[in-house]
Structure 1
Amino acid sequence: MSGGMSDVLAEHLHVYNSVNGIELKTAKGRGAYIKDIFLSDVYMENVHRGIKATGQFTNHPDDNYDPNALPIVAGISFSDIVGVNITTAGVFSGIDESPFTSICLSNVSLTSSYDPSSSWMCAYVEGSSVNVLPEPCPELQVSWPSPSTDCFIFLNPNSQVAAL
């Protein structure tokens, strides 16, 4: 990702026998942004990592990139996600100088036969969660004032929504 990605709606997804169920990736030197993304109604089975968002991607198209360009990753919502036989529920690995912000998890259930206490790994990320099993890392445990509130984003009403 170098040019930016925003106002994306992805729903009704089925993922089977995969390394990653949902993956967003960027890196220092990429700049731009990943923002206002809404993923919902996802079913995954036999997946190594249910959700992965990383700022540690190392590939660049050539050597002429600005190593100081920092991407912005914000406003990402994951809602109504069910996973069966998931090894690691989630990995959120932001960038020290540009943490991932406004990450929102709502109604996410990712089951596995592995140790649930080590199923989320987080660094340089902040966000909220409600109704998430196994319990996410502390950086994603901020709750809303009302436990019945779902996380959401407002997609730009002028955006074109494409079927994925």
Structure 2
Amino acid sequence: MKALHAGDALVVWKLDRLDRDPRHLVNLVDDLTKPEIGLKVLAGEGVVDRHDDSKWPASVRAALAEFERALIVEREKAGLEAARARGRNGGRPFKMTSAKLRLARAAMGRPETKATDLCTELGITRQTLHHFVGPKGELRADGEKLLARRMAKASGPPFAL
């Protein structure tokens, strides 16, 4: 900023190269307009050019919005990676648990069991039931995956001494 004079232009590849905090960036852009210093951003939806006064406010707002969105996405990805590194995976928890699966297998093995009543009691849908257990109580592919996942979690990593 000290080296820039009225009529000069500050050229940056992307706004994130200029600053990482959108609030500070807005202040910096405002500081550039007072002494009539130009700003050119080369990457993005087009070139933002401060010397074109008619397009300056809209183009800078668009560039700032794009910059802020990119930062949000970058931070979100970093947060998800950190959570995965801690062993956490996102998403809704499964309705079918291994305990419910064992009950469903035992109940579906009996001919007097009604699938609708069983689903109501377990708090699952018929579709979920039939994804995991067959009509005679046999495990289906999703049921095998659930049990395998539970066994892998139960065994856990070996302890270090």
If asked which structure has higher relative contact order (CA below 8 Å, sep 6+), I would say: 1
More strand by share: 1
Q: Same fold (TM over 0.5)?
A: no
- TM-score w.r.t. the length of structure 2 is 0.22
- TM-score w.r.t. the length of structure 1 is 0.21
